[in-house]
Amino acid sequence: MNESRAFCPRCGDPVPDRRGEGGANDPLRPGAEVDICDSCYFDDFEFIDAPDRIDVRVCAQCGAVHRGRRWVDVGAQDYTDVAIEEVSEALAVHVDVDDVAWQVEPEEVGPNTVRMHCYFTGTVRDTPVEEQVMIPVKIARQTCTRCGRIAGDYYASIVQIRAEGRTPTTEELERAKVIAEEIVADMEATGDRNAFITKTTETDDGLNMRVSTNKIGKKISNKMVEEFGGTVNDAETLVTEDEDGNGVYRVTFAVRLPPYIPGDVIDLTDDDEGPVLVSSAHGNLKGIRLRTGERYEASYEEGNAPDARKLGERGDAVETTVVTVEDERSIQVLDPETYQAKTISRPDYVDDDPDTVPVLKSRAGLHVLPDDV
């Protein structure tokens, strides 16, 4: 047994010898081999390191707090919440202390000042420690970059929703607005403070949306084309130069939705096989022949815009009485306008013995539509 004795390297009092156990913790002499005694330790011990006061800039519009060089959303309900948040950010607790607990009592002493009375407890060297500090928090109400931009109608990108040879439907326009809101919400959720919609305007031929970044404009237009088909073109306009002399561009994304949408009934110009009920406008137009029930797909060159005229829509169809199914290729129904029996083509989606069928009367005559679209 090695009977060794150790002494406090500062005052010379005997201390328990913990050499070799990694016990030395003189804050003034890191790496010292022997612990200083409790008395010397507590002479220098500082439980809490707190600033004399805290100045915090809060956006009066959205409650964001300025930290470092940027504005941060802290989700605070009121200025007291902000003060608590900032105090806990600014405090440092001595690393040796275990079981740290703290309470804080805010005291509002004016419209812009909150006194934070903080009470701390903990344990160090088997000794309970406590400390009270009062930190005044001064709040400066300002306007953050984002709220300033929103107030100034700032935008970096325009999304135009248009359609080829027609006006976009209400459904398409409403969907565009929802898509834009969802994209902005998703970006906000990841902490992006620069995502917002500046302005949405319905025009005679569609919808214009001014948005805060090019990225948002691009996402909205791509998503529209993904859902509805069509194309998007972007064009840059130089609006200004930044501090480094680099061009700052505003990008316009022009979405052109396809001329025909699912549910449209169209008559192809160079073709005498009868009307087509459109089922998809993604890529090449696809649909069903109303005379036969056969599938139709436009060629690559025609894409989503084959030469055609629109006869009507699925929604224009009316239910009419079947007089008789004559054979595989023909069916006799009542004309919904004249109530005269008429023999028309029987497409293969018509059952053997239906009582009624949905029909569309158009410039191209009377046609049976499929039941489910």
Residues of this chain that bind Zn ion (CB under 5 A): 8, 10-11, 37, 40, 59, 61-62, 64, 144, 147
Nearer residue to Zn ion within complex by CB, 8 or 368: 8
Pairing state between β 341-345 and 330-334: antiparallel
Task: Give bridge partners of residue 166 from the DSSP assignment.
Answer: 163
Nearer residue to Zn ion within complex by CB, 144 or 308: 144
Cα–Cα distances in angstroms (integers) from residue 141 to residues 55, 73, 109, 314, in the given order? 11, 15, 16, 58
- Smallest distance, Zn ion to C-beta of residue 316, A: 50
CB crowding 227-266: b at 16 or more within 10 Å, else e: ebbbebeeeeeeeeeeeeeeeeebbbbbbbbbbbbbbbbb
- Smallest distance, Zn ion to C-beta of residue 6, A: 11
Q: Give the integer Cα–Cα distance in Å for 323 and 365.
A: 18
Q: Give the integer Cα–Cα distance in Å for 28 and 8.
A: 13
Nearer residue to Zn ion within complex by CB, 36 or 129: 36
H helix runs in the chain, sequence order: 38-44, 79-90, 145-151, 170-189, 214-228
Pairing state between β 264-268 and 157-163: unpaired
Nearer residue to Zn ion within complex by CB, 23 or 247: 23
Nearer residue to Zn ion within complex by CB, 62 or 90: 62
- Smallest distance, Zn ion to C-beta of residue 62, A: 3
Nearer residue to Zn ion within complex by CB, 64 or 359: 64
- Smallest distance, Zn ion to C-beta of residue 70, A: 12
Nearer residue to Zn ion within complex by CB, 8 or 183: 8
Nearer residue to Zn ion within complex by CB, 73 or 164: 73
Sheet holding 247-257, edge to edge: 197-203, 206-211, 157-163, 247-257, 231-241
Q: How many CB atoms lie within 10 A of CB 321?
A: 14
- Smallest distance, Zn ion to C-beta of residue 12, A: 7
- Smallest distance, Zn ion to C-beta of residue 153, A: 15
Q: 156 Cβ partners below 8 Å, 6+ apart?
A: 211, 212, 213, 214, 217, 250, 251
Contact 35, 164 (CB under 8 A): no
- Smallest distance, Zn ion to C-beta of residue 60, A: 8
Question: What backbone torsions phi and psi does residue 294 show, to the nearest 5 degrees?
Answer: -70, 155
Nearer residue to Zn ion within complex by CB, 42 or 119: 42
- Smallest distance, Zn ion to C-beta of residue 64, A: 5
Q: Give the integer Cα–Cα distance in Å for 330 and 163.
A: 37
Pairing state between β 92-93 and 48-49: antiparallel
- Smallest distance, Zn ion to C-beta of residue 63, A: 7
